[in-house]
Amino acid sequence: MTAAPTTGAAPAAAGRLPSLTGLRWVAALLVFGFHVGTMGIVAEPAYQAVLGKLFSLGLSGVEFFFILSGFVLVWSYRDGERPRTFLRRRLAKIYPNHLLTWAVVLLVGLWFADPLNGWAALGNLALLQAWNPTPGYFYSVNTVSWSLSCELFFYLCLPFVLPVLRRLRPAALWVVVAAAPLLIIALWPGQRLVPEESRWWFAQVFPLVRSLEFWMGVAAAELMRRGRWRGPGLTVASLIFVALWAVAAQWIRAELWAGLLAVAYLLVITAAAGADLRGRRTPWRSRPMVWLGEVSFAFYLVHVFVMMTVLRLTGHWGVGLRGWWGPLAVLAFLPLNLLLAAALHRWVETPMMRRLGPPRRARPQAAPVAAAPVGPRPAAVPAQPGPDAVRAPRRRPVEYAGRRDPA
């Protein structure tokens, strides 16, 4: 692999990275495809097999989000900002959407006369559900919101850990980047130390475990911020990702999937960021892709609930749709979820970020740590949380509001 030096970047705000916003939509689409398969929307075995081949690793979309979240938050971090101001900014981004979807899912569940676990609902409201391994808690209410529980933990840690990381030598940061995927792979045998009924939670949901992906992105962003990152260009990184996606499920042991995908995702993220800093065109920074990336958080929060509700109303929940009706339903669910996500982004997420976030103040220009980026400065990209889950789809079932689907 030919090393391509990334242009040195000024600290924090020097470079804008619109391609990373566009890439968020790709990750959201992978998660959508995975859930389409596991929720049994398509009943025909032949069509199910196609979905399985295309999206068997789709659960890794959240791994992508966690790595991307660490990278973007470090890149946009405001030096000297107080931890509570940083946390307020992040909560203003994720909590209004979470609160609204939490309330809607509960009301619809009551309308369907679903049993309600009050403690689980309260834990979900406070975004503490990912810390509870009890079945019915970590996937409670809006099931996908478990990842926000992890993100909240990351937000609480970053303001205290980042000053330490910024004092580390580049070699120590490279150790973090290299060690994270190895530790992810080590979770496969390591989970045997956990009671069997909690292994899925430990490997897939537990915030301390999922933070490995986040810190991997953090270390890579700090290296790029200093102009010390070396990696392939976007074309090579994309080919590595596509090749890995194509062969992993067929010829690579499942124990290695999560670690290898973490490396592939990081290479794509850093390569896209490097292209933006050099002012190069990428397919991910077009206006439509950036818009899709901006609404991807809302899309992630609504997609499982919307599909499950429609299937329950039509009587197809648990049985799927026969013939071509299954694929047609999938194609219809995509724009439906996108339309609802756009509304949520436009009328809840964006205005609440302005209303609840800290006042915007002009940031002083920091001196660059290396050579200034070459080329025009692209459009701004807000840091986004990550939103459902990777590792190999395996082992234990995932619960969706009372129905258990093979993960």
Q: How would residue 362 be classed by pLDDT, with cut points 50, 70 and 90?
A: low
Mean pLDDT, residues 231-254 taken together: 89
> Measured between alpha carbons, how far is 384 from 381 in angstroms, rounded to an integer?
9
Mean pLDDT, residues 257-266 taken together: 94
Q: Write the CB contacts of 271 (distance below 8 Å, at least 6 apart in sequence).
A: 4, 231, 232, 233, 234, 236, 237, 238
Q: Hunting for tokens 């429609």 — which residue is that?
A: 310
Calculate the CA dihedral of residues 335, 336, 341, 344 and round it to 10 degrees. Answer: 140
* Cβ burial 104-134 (10 Å sphere, 16+ → b, else e): ebbebbeeeeeeeeeebbebbbebbbbbbbe
Q: What is the pLDDT of residue 404?
A: 36
Mean pLDDT, residues 235-261 taken together: 89
Q: What is the pLDDT of residue 15?
A: 63
Q: What is the pLDDT of residue 28?
A: 96
Q: What is the pLDDT of residue 49?
A: 87
Q: Is the pLDDT of residue 384 over 50?
A: no
Q: Is the pLDDT of residue 73 over 60?
A: yes
Q: What is the pLDDT of residue 96?
A: 98
Q: How would residue 250 be classed by pLDDT, with cut points 50, 70 and 90?
A: confident
Q: Hunting for tokens 């303001």 — which residue is that?
A: 159
Q: What is the pLDDT of residue 13?
A: 39
Average model confidence (pLDDT) across the chain:
86
Specify the higher pLDDT residue, 8 or 316.
Answer: 316
Residue 340 near residue 301 (C-beta atoms within 8 A)? no
Lowest mean pLDDT segment, chosen from 177-186, 218-227, 248-257, 379-388: 379-388
Mean pLDDT, residues 306-329 taken together: 93
Q: Is the pLDDT of residue 79 over 50?
A: yes
Written in H, E and C, the secondary structure of the chain is CCCEECCCCCCCCCCCCHHHHHHHHHHHHHHHHHHHHHCCCECCHHHHHHHHHHHCCHHHHHHHHHHHHHHHHHHCCCCCCCHHHHHHHHHHHHHHHHHHHHHHHHHHHHHCCCCCCHHHHHHHHCCCHHHCCCCCCCCCCCHHHHHHHHHHHHHHHHHHHHHHHCCCCHHHHHHHHHHHHHHHHHHHHHHHHCCHHHHHHHHHCCHHHHHHHHHHHHHHHHHHHCCCCEECCHHHHHHHHHHHHHHHHHHCCHHHHHHHHHHHHHHHHHHHHHHHHCCCCCCCCCHHHHHHHHHHHHHHHHHHHHHHHHHHHHCCCCCCECCCHHHHHHHHHHHHHHHHHHHHHHHHHHHHHHHHCCCCCCCCCCCCCCCCCCCCCCCCCCCCCCCCCCCCCCCCCEEECCEEECC
Q: How would residue 377 be classed by pLDDT, with cut points 50, 70 and 90?
A: very low
Q: How would residue 369 be classed by pLDDT, with cut points 50, 70 and 90?
A: very low
Q: What is the pLDDT of residue 252?
A: 85
